Structure 1
């Protein structure tokens, strides 16, 4: 079991039981006590746990646990692919530049990039970068930093510093949640800072997400509706949500 999977398991157990015991978990998962302590430290940094002697207790600070990459990849696959095809129409002309955020819908977008369409692309997401290497017409720049296991994306000051030295035509942005008051939000502060930097580096900001994200809200806001130029989503979006976006001069594209 990889660390992100183990931490996901511990977080779910914490939500149900309210407490975790290091010795018991180490024996059950066949890992060292120190490994479990590191996992609990990660949960504490994410606001999900408060470490105590011998284990941890739940803070119940967040309503929704951030899904892992494997779980997100297998959710709403057809819908994400449809949104990605619509978003591909917004790629800049040949010779243009793009920034690609971490996200499974963004991964589907990479599948839609024509093999003979020259572009410069920057990304901090390892799965996205791996796909881009197979497109001969793409000039790829990878942004470095500490890689979060949950999203397989680089975060931290080195990533932000690198983005601050760049400017692209279009940024394709993913999100965990969206709303007129909270804007676009995510459960992790470092992830939010990375996304915020990507927003600043682009002439046009395109957010891609399915309409279910409009029913959620997370702790860290990284973009307001005023920061967006275009939203690509599905026909499940309500008339009220469309009106809220258009009130901020955001163009809504229905896939």
Structure 2
């Protein structure tokens, strides 16, 4: 295959998958990583893609910019509702009495499911801790939930507290299970988010929980952001809407992460 043909195919793959791995491309085309680096450099110069660590992403991806909570509200897709249902089923199977709910549209969908849950008993309410105002708002009047709001400086973009004050509060607790959202998960890097203060909060949450569950839709697979908040060894369960592939699947398996496909 000529370089022009290979680069055209790489451009097509980026357009479809929004992200490509250099190692996967080298195996796919049976060429060296140096050849792939030259291909990606040429395509970046042509404005087709943007190179990142380990590969390249589509130029219209906004890796370092989060969407506002209002815009993410529209992203509560049927897939995310299935993921939330799987999270609720997991929560009930563990018989947890305390849970942390992170910020973000996917975890907020878990709060929606919890708000609709009725066990018929209010004598032993589930303790739910969160630093996300929209998550708290969904559960404030749920009679089977004892809500604990964790404070700190609220980011207007996400309507959630973030930074060291929030992280320090979480470090005082030991909860049964935590449900975290993420903006990306990639082999060789782990779970990540665009903002350092938010990463600090997520890390504090996972360090305080006996069981750590990350909800991450397939669009974020093989995707890196600025700030890593967890390695694979720090996560017990990944709930997603499509099975991870390639290097990501191998890294998760080697770390013993249970993958639930909803």
Correspondences of 1:112-123 after superposition (within 5 Å): 112-113=113-114, 114-116=117-119, 118-123=125-130
Provide the rounded CA distance (Å) in 1 between the counterparts of 2:138 and 2:249.
32
Distance 1:175 1:155, change over 3 A: same
In structure 1, what is the equivalent of residue 83 of structure 2?
Answer: 83
The list of structure 1 runs, each at least 4 consecutive aligned residues, that deviate by more than 6 angstroms after superposition, is none
Distance 1:233 1:139, change over 3 A: same
Provide the rounded CA distance (Å) in 2 between the counterparts of 1:119 and 1:215.
34
In structure 2, what is the equivalent of residue 50 of structure 1?
Answer: none
Provide the rounded CA distance (Å) in 1 between the counterparts of 2:109 and 2:66.
20
Deviation per CA, 1:168-223: give whole Å up to 9, x if none: 00000100111121211111110110111101110000001101111321111011
In structure 2, what is the equivalent of residue 144 of structure 1?
Answer: 151
Count of aligned pairs: 194
Provide the rounded CA distance (Å) in 2 between the counterparts of 1:224 and 1:206.
13
Distance 1:63 1:228, change over 3 A: closer
Consecutive unaligned residues of structure 1, counting only runs of 5 or more, are: 1-61
Correspondences of 1:157-236 after superposition (within 5 Å): 157-235=164-242
In structure 1, what is the equivalent of residue 102 of structure 2?
Answer: 101
CA RMSD of aligned residues (A): 1.8
1:125 and 1:152 in contact (8 A); partners too: yes
- Deviation at 1:142? 0.4
Provide the rounded CA distance (Å) in 2 between the counterparts of 1:239 and 1:87.
25
Consecutive unaligned residues of structure 2, counting only runs of 5 or more, are: 1-61
TM-score (norm. length: structure 1): 0.71
- Deviation at 1:94? 5.2
- Deviation at 1:111? 2.0
SS at match of 1:235: coil
Is 1:155 the counterpart of 2:162? The answer is yes
TM-score (norm. length: structure 2): 0.70
Deviation per CA, 1:30-84: give whole Å up to 9, x if none: xxxxxxxxxxxxxxxxxxxxxxxxxxxxxxxx85422111222212521111111
Correspondences of 1:121-132 after superposition (within 5 Å): 121-132=128-139
1:99 and 1:121 in contact (8 A); partners too: yes
In structure 2, what is the equivalent of residue 248 of structure 1?
Answer: 255
